Amino acid sequence: MRYISHVMKPPEILSPAGNPEHLETACLYGAEAVYLGVRGGANLRAGARNFSLDELAQGVSYAHDRGVRVYLTLNTYPHDAQMEGLPDIVSHAREAGVDAVIVSDIGVLSLVREIAPDMPLHLSTQANTVNSRALRAWAGLGVSRVILARELSFEEISRMKAISPVELEVFVHGGVCISVSGRCLISNYLCSRDANQGRCTQPCRWDYALVERSRQGAYMPVEERDGYTFLFNSKDLCLLPVMDRVMALGVDGLKIEGRGRTALYIATAVQTYRKARDAYMNNPQGFALNPEWMQELGKISNRGYFTGFFLGSPDEQDINYDFSGYVHTHHLAAKVKEIKGELTVFEARNPLIEGMEGEWLSSDGMSRKIVFWNMMIEGCRRERIRPNELFEMKAGFAPLPGELVRKPCSEGDKVIRKEACNTFATRMST
Ligand code: SF4
């Protein structure tokens, strides 16, 4: 069945920006909006570097110069003591020209209304909006966009969209909680770090065993699969294989999760979803999933992929029983700093050895092979380059400052990832 949207306004591709570098990467690789948090500012990625208030203003200016919107996340559930700094942050956000503030808590919502009455308000997925009456209620409180809960199916979102008085945004890619969007106390209980304050340590993904009180040190396995028990270790959301249905929803924003992830993750995920979105917009009837897009997403860090609740409730296949961390097939090798005539100045991000092959991730969507050769530092040829060193090289092509070069990582990682990716691809095609 072919799913065609009657609403042809393209949904904006929203990228995470955990720091200023990520914001620049997102702008370069095709994001139309970024969402970010400020330090100490009630955002759900307290562990990310985030932005100072000065960096927020600079980031907004940088993004606006490139036609990219900036949304500020104030989406924790702050207690009274944590509300104190918020008025100042909201004032700075208004002065900086932030395009919208993302909130969850109704107290924060009323605070933003009071301090910046003209500031558009987006409701975070943390508010768990799963029905149309809630959409109308939030609209009545001044919310202009609702980021829907991830626990919704295609049919449910379609029905809500048809009568929604507000813009809708959906998550298409990234990590998910086994609980309802972070409404969870496991991290608080085990590590005194509250998920709803943006400080989750992700203990749901740890490998657990059973210990009987009188036999300390004797760990009895609780096995689901050969020697492993990852009871709550959800795979990552990936709606790329059902992009035709996602587009047919006619929603206003497609969001990529990951303010704690890397520049390479952002560049790859943003560019891939932008390509798929644009391909659909150019030819809805003829839209077909390009297998290379899925291969691209297999190269960035992930826990294996699934389609969340979009096609119905997840089942046991959507838990990752094989490993608790991330896998990826590629690392960031280097970043283009500047162009000096025929030479390109790179900043190494991983160790480089002469003769090593990499892949230039061009911001125009074309990847190209690159060999690290004749790497020069202060006029001397170097066979090895350490992370963070700047070196010059003739690239053999015309990169732009900020573009990234990736390289394959170890064989072990590749094998695991390949299996996870193959399994997902097989399930999606049946
Ligand atoms: S412990 Fe797991 S389920 Fe709970 S908030 Fe953290 S990531 Fe989500």
**DSSP code string of 326-375:** -B-SEEEEEEEEEEETTEEEEEESS-EETT-EEEEE-TTS-EEEEE--S-
Our mutation pick for probing the ligand 1 site, out of 200, 231, 320, counting the most ligand atoms within 8 A of Cβ, is 200
What are residue 102's phi and psi, to 5 degrees?
-100, 120
Asked whether 260 and 379 are in contact (CB, 8 A), the reply is no
Pairing of strands 343-348, 330-340: antiparallel
**DSSP code string of 218-254:** -EEE--SBTTB--TT-BPEEE-GGGHHHHHHTT-SEE
Q: Is the CB of 195 under 6 A from ligand 1?
A: yes
Our mutation pick for probing the ligand 1 site, out of 186, 191, 196, 197, counting the most ligand atoms within 8 A of Cβ, is 186
**Fold type of domain 330-408:** Elongation Factor Tu (Ef-tu); domain 3 (2.40.30)
Asked whether 111 and 77 are in contact (CB, 8 A), the reply is no
Asked whether 290 and 241 are in contact (CB, 8 A), the reply is no
60 Cα: distance to centroid of ligand 1 (angstroms) = 31
Atom 4 of ligand 1 has which residue's CA nearest to it?
Answer: 184
Nearest partner of 92 among 49, 47, 60, judged by Cα: 60
Fold agreement between 12-180+234-318 and 330-408: no
- Measured CA to CA, the distance from residue 159 to residue 373 in angstroms comes to 56
Say how far residue 164 (Cα) sits from the centre of its chain.
Answer: 26
Atom 5 of ligand 1 has which residue's CA nearest to it?
Answer: 182
**Alpha-carbon distance values, 58 to 29, 126, 237 (Å):** 19, 28, 32
Nearest partner of 308 among 246, 397, 352, 370, judged by Cα: 246
* pLDDT given for residue 417 in this prediction: 45
Our mutation pick for probing the ligand 1 site, out of 180, 184, 237, counting the most ligand atoms within 8 A of Cβ, is 184
258 Cα: distance to centroid of ligand 1 (angstroms) = 14
What residues contact 255, with CB distance under 8 A and at least 6 apart? 14, 35, 147, 169, 170, 171, 172, 173
Atom 8 of ligand 1 has which residue's CA nearest to it?
Answer: 177
* pLDDT given for residue 88 in this prediction: 94
Q: Is the CB of 229 under 6 A from ligand 1?
A: no
Please give the structure tokens belonging to residue 49: 């570097």
- Measured CA to CA, the distance from residue 333 to residue 319 in angstroms comes to 31
Does the domain at 12-180+234-318 match CATH 3.40.50.720? Answer given as no
392's enclosing H/E stretch is strand 390-393
pTM above 0.85? yes
* pLDDT given for residue 333 in this prediction: 96
**Alpha-carbon distance values, 111 to 80, 86, 92, 107 (Å):** 12, 8, 14, 6
**Alpha-carbon distance values, 357 to 369, 370, 409 (Å):** 7, 6, 11
- Measured CA to CA, the distance from residue 97 to residue 108 in angstroms comes to 19
Please give the structure tokens belonging to residue 180: 């309802």
Our mutation pick for probing the ligand 1 site, out of 177, 230, 234, 237, counting the most ligand atoms within 8 A of Cβ, is 177
Q: Is the CB of 202 under 6 A from ligand 1?
A: yes
- Measured CA to CA, the distance from residue 407 to residue 417 in angstroms comes to 15
Identify the bridge partners of residue 344 per DSSP, sorted by sequence position.
339, 393
Q: Is the CB of 186 under 6 A from ligand 1?
A: yes
The CA radius of gyration of the chain, in Å to the nearest whole number, is 22
Domain boundary assignment for the chain: 12-180+234-318, 330-408
* pLDDT given for residue 43 in this prediction: 67
What residues contact 25, with CB distance under 8 A and at least 6 apart? 263, 266, 267, 402, 404
- Measured CA to CA, the distance from residue 274 to residue 271 in angstroms comes to 5
- pLDDT tens string for the chain (430 positions)? 555 555 578 999 999 999 999 999 999 999 999 999 998 766 666 667 789 999 999 999 999 999 999 999 999 999 999 898 899 999 999 999 999 999 999 999 999 999 999 999 999 999 999 999 999 999 999 999 999 999 999 999 999 999 999 999 999 999 888 777 767 888 887 888 888 777 888 888 787 777 888 888 888 766 666 656 666 778 899 999 999 999 999 999 999 998 888 999 999 999 999 999 999 999 999 999 999 999 999 999 898 899 999 998 777 666 666 666 677 789 999 999 999 999 999 999 999 999 999 999 999 998 899 999 999 999 999 999 999 999 999 988 889 999 999 999 865 444 444 445 445 555 555 4
